[in-house]
Amino acid sequence: MNAAVLLRAALLALAALTLAACGSPGSKKPASSTAGPAPAHVQDGAPRHRPADLSSIPDAVPRVEPRSRYGNPATYEVFGVTYRVMDSADGYVERGVASWYGTKFHGRRTSSGEPYDMFAMTAAHTRLPLPTYVQVTNLENRRSVVVRVNDRGPFARGRIIDLSYAAAYRLGMLEQGTALVEVRAIDPRAPGTQMAQTQPAPLAGNTGGAPSVYVQVGAFSSRHNAEQLLARLNGHNLGRVAIHEAPDLSVYRVRIGPLASVDLADSAARDLERIGFPDYRIVVD
């Protein structure tokens, strides 16, 4: 959560909408948004007093909405990284690491221009169109929520979605700060189609049922190329580095792991950057 928090403030300054009124960070429902990025010196976190009814906050209800006027450029850049906004969320499914954000941004303007409400079922994503409804499943405890994506982020490497405080509470990930999740877009014209199967498909190559975390350094159609990358990585004390073959041998993935936690994956990612391998992904299988 902490890395994503520091980076999110930069994007908030990109919004073109200026709202005059300010919401109170201590209130449960921000009436309007606070203009400008959150102060860098303010730490993010949970509210001082947790509301008693968090577990009863309902899922977002998918409905057909027009594309947001703000937050949907074809491309945008944050800290030297260019992000391309998807034309459509149809068929989007991804597994990876989720984080969450809370008090620092409560009442502040999101990329869509709406005020961030940490007690609403919302989320931030770098590429999905705003708004998009997604089902997020914690692969470690199988809890699921439906959230409305109305913000941009997270911009920390190795994170695929940033959830509101309420959504993170419902998924049981507040204390840990991160969770291994599956994110699945919902078609608001027929939400029951995607939500009928509430549990994600079995984890590929994992007979134990528990998710495994890897840092993927490369993926190739040629095994020879994968072996060349593996040889370059060997000798750097990165732990177990191996080639993972697709069942049909169409893709050869070079991965570090499996790793026991997100913290270890983050550590491996920092090691890769240190030795000159900045192009990696944290993946869940």
Domains by residue range for the chain, with CATH: 2-195 (2.40.40.10), 213-284 (3.30.70.1070)
* Residue 253 and residue 219 in contact, taking contact as beta carbons nearer than 8 Å: yes
The two three-digit tokens of residue 280, written as one number: 């990696």
Residue 207's pLDDT is 46
Residue 27: predicted pLDDT:
35
pLDDT of residue 201: 59
CB of 22 closer than 8 Å to CB of 107: yes
- Give the mean model confidence (pLDDT) for residues 47-57: 84
Percent of the chain with pLDDT over 70: 79
What is the average per-residue pLDDT within 56-75?
A: 96
Contact between residue 275 and residue 208 where contact means Cβ atoms under 8 Å apart: no
Using pLDDT thresholds of 50, 70 and 90, give the confidence band for residue 167.
very high
25 pLDDT band (50/70/90 cuts)?
Answer: very low
Task: Give pLDDT tens digits for 115-126.
Answer: 999 999 999 999
Decide: 23 and 33 in contact? Cβ < 8 Å. Answer: yes
What pLDDT was estimated at residue 105?
87
Cβ of 191: how many Cβ atoms within 10 Å?
Answer: 16
pLDDT the model gives residue 199: 57
Q: State mean pLDDT over 57-61.
A: 96
- Within 8 A by CB and 6+ apart from 125, the residues are 132, 134, 149, 151, 152, 153, 160, 161, 162, 183
Query: At 16, is the pLDDT very low, low, confident or very high (cuts 50, 70, 90)?
Result: very low
Tell the burial category of 220 from Cβ atoms under 10 Å away from its Cβ (0-12, 13-18, 19+).
middle
pTM of the model: 0.82
Average pLDDT over the chain reads 85
Residue of higher predicted confidence among 268 and 200: 268
**What pLDDT is stored for residue 30 in this prediction?**
52
What confidence tier does 285 reach under pLDDT thresholds 50, 70, 90? confident
176-220 pLDDT per residue, tens: 999 999 999 999 998 776 565 545 655 554 545 689 999 999 999
Write down the H helix ranges in the chain: 2-12, 165-171, 191-195, 223-233, 262-274
**Per-residue model confidence (pLDDT) at position 20:** 27
Whose CA is closest to 121, among 164, 154, 150?
164
Task: Give the residue from 110, 131, 148, 149 showing the smallest Cα distance to 30.
Answer: 110
Query: Any idea which of 25-39, 112-126, 184-198, 240-254 has the lowest mean pLDDT?
Result: 25-39
pLDDT at 12 (0 to 100):
44
